[in-house]
Structure 1
Amino acid sequence: MAQRTVLFVLFDGVQSLDVTGPLEVFAGAEQHTPGSYRIRTASLDGAAVRTSSGLTVVPDEALAGADTPHTLVVPGGQGTRRPDARLADWLREHGPRAERLVSVCTGAIRLAEAGLLDGRRVTTHWAYCDKLAHDHPAVEVDPDPIYVRDGHVSTSAGVTSGIDLALALVEEDLGRDAALTIARHLVVFLRRPGNQAQFSAQLAAQTAQREPLREVQQWITEHPDADLSVESLAVRARLSPRHFARAFQTETGMTPGRYVDRVRLEHARRLLEDTSDGVEEISRASGYGTPEGMRRAFVRALGTAPSEYRRRFHPAQ
């Protein structure tokens, strides 16, 4: 088995977890299968970089002296908000030589600045998808998945999704057993499918300003199997259904129905990941009523059925 070099590009303002999360996955793979990976870090001049959290990281080498890697990883962070012509030039020259080109979070912005994402379907952190699409119209930006693989180019969303993508790459290289062992060691799931949406209901919605509406948001989260119709929720908020629906959308940025859909999907997803409960039981606990109702919701939102979703986390079941 040929050893694969994995090179992480460092720069001032890099997000430390964008680097260390995927790096720990590849390091775990090297421990599991010695000789599988050679992990390197490099900055433009080989100088130490200061991450967005203030942590100082000393790279192994300068990019100018780095060998062409098998997998080139470009992390994100606050530093990507400022264009870097020198780094863009280096990526433009050396990026196409790597067998795999990977970005974590807003590292996609660095790749786009170098013209390496033109004509490709990509993703990045949900808060920067619109900016990436606006600044680089030749790039097809998909804001929904946690990671996207388009040919030899792979892009991931927010920080932890870089771990998911790294696990997928290790599974491709070394097999599922190796990736599962690493995921268990890191106490993470193996593995969230790339087409899983990068949202949680609480993150996707704004917190309502008025206390009755905040209480309703919390009630929905804690009781996904309850009657969550607009009429029922309006009674809890002590508002008329029409006033409640209008106020809820104004203050949270989404309709009550959309919020309920997201809460129920998230609740069902977690039960599938964390428990051995049956699909029928989970569908009732999550407010879908029937397995078919839950299946339709999963296919619509995630592009996969609940049984397939669970298989990714519990392949023996």
Structure 2
Amino acid sequence: MKLKFAFLILPQIHLMDLAGPDQAILEAIDFGADFEIEYCCLENGVISTAGLPIAGLKHFSEVRLNKGDFLIIPGSNASYLISDTFKKNTDLFHWIIKNYHSGVQLVSICAGAFVLAECGLLNNIPCTTHFKRTQQLQELYPKAKVIDNILFTQQGGIYTSAGIASGIDVTLHIIEELKGSYFAHLVARELVVYNRRNGNQKQESELLGFRNHIHSGIHKAQDWIVENINQKANLSELAEIACMSERNFTRIFKKETDITVNDYITVIRKEKIKEFMKNPDLTRLDIALQVGLQSERQLSRLIHSN
């Protein structure tokens, strides 16, 4: 069974709050992720804040979600979400709450946090929304632990994010949790989002480090290194992959990544070792061979090197 990402399309939706996460998931599917996307609405004939009509959507009550699926609530006009008109939709709130208690994970983009707050699901947990609305969210829902100046939060199967771009950030974070850091990098690169951002700007995985550039040849070489770390990387082959001479490749690699090719390979090996060490079925020799080393001794030396 495929993992479902359902988007709740509310009236006066902000199109970019929908489009960013939606495209990230679509790219993940194109890269082979076993995901599916479904859309639903509160009422048919939704008009976005830009005036674009969206029709032909299922009513939310027709959508069936299973444990582990995701319900994503893109932001709509906050004035609408805090209005008495919207707050009368108790059936919608009960549906969201029921799904959450059934193990469905919830994601709000921007002002979508007001929907989760109205459901009482942000009580006593960290959350965020657009910086212009954090104070209002806190005042209207004092039990929520609203955090300023953060891109996204995650706790207990509930994710909240700030503005448009952070909706992509939190979606990439979810993809990374599900499919791994390198897979998330591939999706980010397809979106031309080279500078991945974590919710609290904590240190990123080394598999995503040294990628904040747009040189396609260097990216190709880095991809080859990550995907073939069990093989010995030949400088001439890497240069050929990047469509450069060896001398130019060495120079451009250092210029774009601020690290040498050999040091980059070492970084990737160390990161891969960390991942493999979590697998109790792999021996230390197995791990050594998986990262292109010949012995446990070489593995130990690399692990304890600075």
Which bracket does the TM-score occupy, shorter chain normalised?
0.5 to 0.7
Q: Which stretch of the first structure deviates more once superposed, 97-106 or 75-84?
A: 75-84
One-letter identity of the residue aligned with 1:188: V
What TM-score do the two structures reach when normalised by structure 2?
0.62
| Structure 1 residues 81-230: aligned runs within 5 Å | 81-82=82-83, 83-86=86-89, 87-196=92-201
Once the two structures are aligned, what percentage of the paired residues are identical?
Answer: 28
One-letter identity of the residue aligned with 1:193: N
Structure 1 residues 84 and 103: alpha-carbon distance in aligned structure 2, compared to 1, 3 A threshold: same
| Structure 1 residues 250-269: aligned runs within 5 Å | none
CA distance, structure 2, for counterparts of residue 195 and residue 151 of structure 1:
17
What is aligned with 2:16? 17
CA contact (8 A) 2:194 2:214 kept: no
What is aligned with 2:47? 50
Structure 1 residues 21 and 109: alpha-carbon distance in aligned structure 2, compared to 1, 3 A threshold: same
Higher helix share: 1
Instruction: Give the C-alpha shift of residue 275 in structure 1.
Output: 9.0
CA contact (8 A) 2:21 2:167 kept: yes
What is aligned with 2:81? 80
CA distance, structure 2, for counterparts of residue 59 and residue 15 of structure 1:
18
CA contact (8 A) 1:5 1:38 kept: yes
Q: Which runs of 5+ in 1 are unaligned?
A: 198-270, 277-309
CA contact (8 A) 1:41 1:59 kept: no
One-letter identity of the residue aligned with 1:16: L
Structure 1 residues 272 and 180: alpha-carbon distance in aligned structure 2, compared to 1, 3 A threshold: closer
One-letter identity of the residue aligned with 1:138: K
Q: What is the aligned residue count?
A: 205
CA contact (8 A) 1:8 1:42 kept: yes
One-letter identity of the residue aligned with 2:142: P
Instruction: Give the C-alpha shift of residue 88 in structure 1.
Output: 2.6
Q: SS where residue 106 of structure 1 aligns?
A: helix
Cα deviation digits, residues 44-93 of structure 1 (max 9, x gap): 24x13111111122354111110025001011121424233313333233
What is aligned with 1:67? 64
CA distance, structure 1, for counterparts of residue 195 and residue 183 of structure 2:
11
CA contact (8 A) 2:131 2:162 kept: yes
CA contact (8 A) 1:5 1:37 kept: yes
Q: Which stretch of the first structure deviates more once superposed, 62-71 or 187-196?
A: 187-196
Cα deviation digits, residues 245-294 of structure 1 (max 9, x gap): xxxxxxxxxxxxxxxxxxxxxxxxxx994599xxxxxxxxxxxxxxxxxx
Cα deviation digits, residues 176-200 of structure 1 (max 9, x gap): 2221111111111352011139xxx
What is aligned with 1:267? none
Structure 1 residues 185 and 97: alpha-carbon distance in aligned structure 2, compared to 1, 3 A threshold: same
One-letter identity of the residue aligned with 2:153: V
What is aligned with 1:5? 4
Structure 1 residues 59 and 167: alpha-carbon distance in aligned structure 2, compared to 1, 3 A threshold: farther
Cα deviation digits, residues 195-240 of structure 1 (max 9, x gap): 139xxxxxxxxxxxxxxxxxxxxxxxxxxxxxxxxxxxxxxxxxxx
CA contact (8 A) 1:74 1:104 kept: yes
CA contact (8 A) 1:123 1:156 kept: yes
What is aligned with 1:37? 35
Q: SS where residue 126 of structure 1 aligns?
A: coil
What is aligned with 1:244? none
CA distance, structure 2, for counterparts of residue 97 and residue 155 of structure 1:
19
CA contact (8 A) 2:74 2:111 kept: yes
Q: SS where residue 189 of structure 1 aligns?
A: coil
| Structure 1 residues 276-287: aligned runs within 5 Å | none
Q: Which runs of 5+ in 2 are unaligned?
A: 203-209, 216-257, 268-306
CA distance, structure 1, for counterparts of residue 105 and residue 93 of structure 2:
17
